Amino acid sequence: MMDLAASLLSPEFFAAILRVSTPIILVAMGVLISERAGVVNIGAEGMMLSGAFCGVVFSAYTGSATVGLVAAIVAGMVGGLFMSFAVHVLRANLFLSGIALNLAASAGTILALFALTGEKGISGTLDSEVLPSVHIPWIQDLPVLGTILSGHHILTYVAFLSVPAVAIFMMRTPTGLRMRAVGENPEAAKATGLSVIRLQLQAFLLCGVFAGAGGAFLSMGYVSWFSQNMTAGRGFIALAAEVMGAGGAYGTLAASLLLGSVDVLAIALAGEGLPSELLQAAPYVVTVLALALYGLRQAKQKTIGTVH
Amino acid sequence: MRFNRRVFSTMVLAGLSGGLLAATLPSSAQAADAKRAIFLANGTLGDKSFFDSAARGMQDAKAKYGDDLEIRIVEMGVDKSKWRSFLQDASEEDYDLVFTITFEIGELLAEIAQEYPDQNYVLIDGFLPEGAGDLQNIYSVVYKANEASYLAGVMAAGMLAEGTNVKGTHLGMLGAFDIPVINDFFLGYVTGAQSVKPDVKVAVSFAGSFEDAARGKELSLAQYRTGTAIGFNVAGLTGLGQLDAAKETGQWAIGVNSDQELIFRESDPALADRVVTSVMKNIDVTVARTIDLLFEDAVPLGQFEALGLKEGGVGIVKDGVMASVVSDDVKAKIDAAETAIINGDIVVESAFGKDTAEIEAIRTAVRP
């Protein structure tokens, strides 16, 4: 047990939280933008998976990690285009379109992998690039903080920096304001002359940027290959984080970090003889608890509102 | 333009019919009394594992028997609802043997075998449901993964005991789920390790997924950082995360089912160098051996067999990294254990038939 306490307080433990939370934060920021624009994107998981795939493939064929990252982001945006086309042009159901995108990405990436490499499970034969880790000068030399804060994958820093960026974008810029207006009341927004479709398309595309980057994080640094369905539900965890964060960027960051912490705690406890099924369920239990608390608070606020 | 298109389509037609002719030629050239075998993959080829291995076994047999054997390999895909009609079609085409593999297809095969009592089937690495034991037209084969894992345990504990090129105090294992198939590997690994180092400790983590390589890596990093010197992954694609963690921390890993060193040998040699060995189920050997039995009219239909080291059903990879990393002394220990298991001097415990509490007790006893 002493070992456990030591490992829970070790800098590696906190570094792991930042690492595990990164893909959730990135995708949750994308989901946040789409949700506030009124088109909550169930297809984030599929965008992420396409991003993970294209990052590996394009970096392998060009030898450039940067090209891979750009390809991953573009792949996410193509997913966004698909969503917008399905929802706005074909008038398909938003949720079903998202599910369709997820299924198409799951099967499509395997098909493309097979066409390119003759394999269906893993891109192990492709010599793909990984994005660099960043060692922050000064901070990396600090005893404890150095291990926690320095030496992470570049997209981990991007993820954390994107939080204030998204907060400012949504709350302080005209486009963010318009997106929120469209999300709150599309009819009213339309009446003021806003193009609902254009704003929602932009939201889908931005969501694709974040989801694609989240996928690239998994396949171009966390591990150095693509394997089938490697996102393993992280897109859905990000949806949960956004709901837990009540649509605010900082709240979503907090929720993502909470989910990441629970996951890392479960990983640290994995060797301690607790039932593995219980530990694997932990992030989902926390999500349900947090949503229940959030619902209670909402209900209470409503009651207060009616009294006055 | 139009002319060109016509020429083009004529060429395509000619090519197609030529191809068709070529495809039908070999079968028309078969000897009249040729044996016919079909392998129905309940998934797709290219998995670098079970299905590819079975297909390789079919090809090996074909190379051996030439015109006396006619083989066919069919990918049924991952859609389970379509497997029944594939099996029915194959059952109506008068094959001498229909091969199927993995635990996913056992139940369906039992139903089909009842529908077609005159057709003979082989089920590899799967189980027939309770009460189907009296089906006289299925030969059912499973693997003693515990025996090969025992050898991996001997190797890992041997390396740990010598301590020359390992950093850490104990062994580790990354499993996908806490289920008998996975625990069978665990039990063999632990008992093998204990035979070399009786007080050896083994950390065990379960990922809850066969596809989450990132989680596999994170779990393995946690193990390696808390003193695991050599890890063993039994978790499909999740398990490959362990190899990446081994590369990052400079520790050792043991692969499973296929030679995992080979997956990365070309693209990531630094990672491949951390895979000491892999525990293999030799499905290709089983398929080829069963076809041998077919030619001898000796396929043990209606029987259930567990193939171990003795039958060549399982084994560990001894060339590659292991050849240069493991000392001659430890290699001798591995060979001795292998001989003892083959001779029946060592009987490796199996997780099948043990209940959860027994497995949990063993896991607790070796927890670091």
A237-286 pLDDT, tens digit per residue, is 999 999 889 889 999 999 999 999 999 998 888 877 788 888 888 888 88
Same domain for B196 and B226:
yes
Same domain for B317 and B215:
yes
Same domain for B149 and B138:
no
Q: Is A191 a member of any domain?
A: yes
Same domain for B55 and B200:
no
Q: Is A109 a member of any domain?
A: yes
Name chain B contacts of A224, Cβ cutoff 8 Å.
244, 268, 271
Q: Residue B266's pLDDT is what?
A: 87
Of the candidates A122, A271, A277, which has its C-beta nearest B203's C-beta? A271
Of the candidates B214, B223, B364, which has its C-beta nearest A218's C-beta? B214
Q: Residue B45's pLDDT is what?
A: 78
Same domain for B95 and B209:
no
Same domain for B240 and B122:
no
**Residue from B78, B201, B249, B267 whose CB has the most chain A CBs within 10 Å, to mutate:** B267
Q: Residue A165's pLDDT is what?
A: 97
Q: Residue A304's pLDDT is what?
A: 54
> CATH number for the domain including B107?
3.40.50.2300
Name chain B contacts of A105, Cβ cutoff 8 Å.
none
Of the candidates A120, A126, A128, which has its C-beta nearest B46's C-beta? A120
Q: Residue A138's pLDDT is what?
A: 85
Of the candidates B208, B268, B364, which has its C-beta nearest A224's C-beta? B268
Sign of CA dihedral B4, B9, B15, B21: negative
Domain end call among B118, B143, B168: B143
Tens of pLDDT, residue by residue over A137-152, are 888 888 888 888 888 9
3-state secondary structure string, chain A? CHHHHHHHCCHHHHHHHHHHHHHHHHHHHHHHHHHHCCCCCCCHHHHHHHHHHHHHHHHHHHCCHHHHHHHHHHHHHHHHHHHHHHHHHCCCCHHHHHHHHHHHHHHHHHHHHHHHHCCCCECCCCCCCCCCEECCCCHHHCHHHHHHHCCEEHHHHHHHHHHHHHHHHHHHCHHHHHHHHHHHCHHHHHHCCCCHHHHHHHHHHHHHHHHHHHHHHHHHHHCCCCECCCCCCHHHHHHHHHHHCCCCHHHHHHHHHHHHHHHHHHHHHHHHCCCHHHHHHHHHHHHHHHHHHHHHHHHHHHHHHHHC
Q: Is A268 a member of any domain?
A: no
**Domain hosting residue B223, numbered range:** 145-280+310-365
Percent of all residues in chain A with a pLDDT value above 90, rounded to a whole number: 69
Interface of B with A (CB under 8 A): 44-49, 177-178, 203-209, 211-215, 217-219, 221-223, 225-226, 237, 240-241, 244, 263-264, 266-268, 271, 360, 363-364, 367-368
Same domain for B259 and B165:
yes
**Domain hosting residue A103, numbered range:** 11-235
Name chain A contacts of B222, Cβ cutoff 8 Å.
7, 16, 267-268, 270-271
C-beta separation of B105 from B88 below 8 A: no
Q: Residue B183's pLDDT is what?
A: 93
Q: Kindly report the CA angle at B256 between B254 and B262, in degrees rounded to 5?
A: 80
Domain total for chain B? 2
Name chain A contacts of B266, Cβ cutoff 8 Å.
125, 127
Same domain for B234 and B210:
yes
Q: Is A201 a member of any domain?
A: yes
Domain end call among B102, B128, B143: B143
Distance CA B339, CA B49 (A): 26
Of the candidates B209, B222, B263, which has its C-beta nearest A122's C-beta? B263
Interchain contact, B225 vs A222, CB within 8 Å: no
Rounded to the nearest angstrom, the minimum Cα separation between B57 and chain A is: 19
Interchain contact, A268 vs B222, CB within 8 Å: yes
Nearest to B292 by CA among B62, B123, B12, B79: B62
The pTM (predicted TM-score) of the whole model is: 0.84
Q: Is B303 a member of any domain?
A: no
Name chain B contacts of A23, Cβ cutoff 8 Å.
214
Domain total for chain A? 1
Q: Residue B29's pLDDT is what?
A: 45
Same domain for B358 and B226:
yes
Q: Is B316 a member of any domain?
A: yes
**Residue from B268, B278, B362, B366 whose CB has the most chain A CBs within 10 Å, to mutate:** B268
Q: Residue A3's pLDDT is what?
A: 66
Interchain contact, B213 vs A125, CB within 8 Å: no
Interchain contact, A273 vs B367, CB within 8 Å: yes
Interchain contact, A225 vs B368, CB within 8 Å: no
Going from the first residue of chain B to its last (368 residues), give the mean pLDDT of each consecutive group of 10, the final group possibly shorter.
50 48 45 85 77 91 94 88 93 93 87 92 87 82 94 97 93 92 94 96 92 94 94 93 95 92 90 95 92 93 90 92 95 97 94 88 92
Tens of pLDDT, residue by residue over A15-58, are 999 999 999 999 999 999 999 999 999 999 999 999 999 999 99
Interface of A with B (CB under 8 A): 3, 7, 12, 16, 19-20, 23, 114, 118-122, 124-128, 218, 222-225, 227-230, 232, 264, 267-268, 270-273, 275-277, 280
Domain end call among B143, B163, B193: B143
Place of tokens 């090129």: B165
